[in-house]
Amino acid sequence: MKTSQLLGPERRAIAGLASLYATRMMGLFMVLPVLALYTRDLAGATPTLVGIALGGYGLTQAVLQIPFGWLSDRLGRKAVIGFGLGLFILGSVVAATATSIEMIILGRCLQGSGAVAGAIMALLADQTREEVRTVAMASIGMSIGLAFALAMVVGPLAADAFGLSGVFWLTAVMAVASLLVLWKLVPAAPKRQHQDVGLDRRQLKGILANSALLRMDISIFALHMILTACFVAIPQQLVSFGIEPAHHGWVYLPLMGLAFVAMLPLVIVAEKYRRMKPVFLGAVATIAISLLLLGIEGIEDTGLTMFLAVLWLFFVAFNLLEATLPSMISKLAPAGAKGTAMGVYSTSQFLGAFVGGVGGGWLTGQFGLSGVFIAMGLLALLWLAAVWGMQPPRHLASEVVGLSREVSHLSAVELQSQLLAIAGVEEALVVREEQVAYLKVTRDTLDDKALAHFTRQRDDETPAGTEVPAS
């Protein structure tokens, strides 16, 4: 009988892969609030090189993400993920033992070269059934948000206790722990094809030509460019207010916590009350305004409280966009093309981090800290102009359904036509090789009984060793 209840192996896979993803991203994020402060005295350090060190991981992530995904299709998911984690460990060790800024840059680029995000998503899809896959993917998104918040606090505390090298040693230890989780906790799974997971070259042209998705790619590029550039300046600005680097973690902790609390009602307004466009545009405008305020000459004279209040406003908008952009991608992507859309989106995100690091370092050297904030504020205004004319995304949910034996005699075209005739089904893509249909549906009007005719029962297809929930 088909069930949306998680099975035992699925729970272990979700827990293991979400924790693996989170610890890896936390390792990359932990240096954001500390690197600009702790590399200034390294041999050869300049603001531009510090910026490259901050965002260098993004370049190798962007370039190697797609090749790692293809390798995982051919060599196996766990082997490729393990190799990527090995590269991450190597990069962490190189950075931890660095005595020059160039070695830090090399280490950061090596960290990013283990670009296994797509392979982790594909393995998670291998491990889960169609009816629980949305929940599984959402767990990854939640883990990233948690990793970022923790990194803002743990990074400064670790740097104070053990220096910058200690931060990188900590990331290496976490990556080793992730390897153990991968091999011991995550169950083995057959390699399957999933058109909604990973980048499909056949869909790439259509995704790149989709103006609505292109606006989202521009948005995540700009968001992470701004974030990385600002973290060249924010730690130094806190120091200028007399806050020692050792205490920066305690500054970020309440800021991130209060920003998260303030963000939640806005997410509910966007999703539940279907006000995604005004909430999205409002968040971009808030980022622009907060950055321009941070860049005003004499911000130090207004006092630390005002600076932190504006910074809090920035984090509210940042966290809101970080939470809602993937949801918008899912709504806008055509049926069966979400994986390709997310692949382009992730590549844009990592490229933004690289450009932001380089740009933030250069701007600091040329125009000082205020120049970084002003330039990023102006960039945010251009971003706002680019997305202003967007259409509100339709509130469609993604469904992946296994096809029943009763409809196996029908062609893909016939199946697609019949699925589209069901009330609430807005888009349908039938993939015979996978024996599934990828759907975009309106939950409020979906005729579940009519759809059930096309859906296979799972009892006789439960993988060997799978735990069936007790009735």
pLDDT tens digits, one per residue of 230-270: 999 999 999 988 999 989 999 998 998 899 899 989 988 98
Looking at residues 153-178, what average pLDDT do you find?
93
Among 4-18, 349-363, 440-454, the range scoring the smallest mean pLDDT is 4-18
* Average pLDDT of span 374-393: 95
Q: What is the predicted pLDDT for the residue at 300?
A: 64
Selected residue with higher pLDDT from 23 and 457: 23
Residue 399 bridge partners (DSSP):
439
DSSP 372-408: HHHHHHHHHHHHHHHHTTPPPPP--EEEEEEBPGGGT
Residue 1 predicted with pLDDT over 50: no
- Single-letter residue type at 375: A
Distance CA 194, CA 191 (A): 10
pLDDT at 152 over 70: yes
Q: What is the pTM of this model?
A: 0.86
Contact of 169 with 92, CB cutoff 8 Å: yes
Two structure tokens written together for 47: 């603001």
The edge-to-edge listing of strands for the beta sheet with 436-441 is: 397-402, 436-441, 425-431
pLDDT at 145 exceeding the cut of 90: no
Distance, CA of 234 to CA of 306 (rounded, Å) = 14
How confident is the model over 1-7, as a mean pLDDT? Answer: 59
What is the mean predicted confidence (pLDDT) over 269-294? 93
Q: What pLDDT is attached to residue 338?
A: 78
In 3D space, the residue among 195, 201, 276, 126 whose CA is nearest the CA of residue 439 turns out to be 195
List the end-to-end C-alpha distance of the chain, in Å, as a whole number.
Answer: 11
Please state, rounded to an integer, the average pLDDT across all residues of the chain.
Answer: 85
Token representation of residue 142:
């939640």
Name the band, by pLDDT with cuts 50, 70 and 90, for residue 464: very low
Structure tokens at 181: 């989780």
Which residues are CB-neighbours of 442 under 8 A, at least 6 positions away? Answer: 395, 396, 397, 424, 426
Q: What is the pLDDT of residue 10?
A: 78
Instruction: Report all structural domains of the chain as residue ranges with CATH numbers, in order of start.
Output: 7-198 (1.20.1250.20), 212-395 (1.20.1250.20), 397-461 (3.30.70.100)
Spatial separation of the C-alpha atoms in residues 135 and 4, rounded to whole Å: 10
Task: Tell me what pLDDT residue 332 has.
Answer: 87
pLDDT of residue 365: 92
Look up residue 294 and give its two tokens: 């941070």
Question: What is the torsional sign of CA 450, 454, 459, 464?
Answer: negative
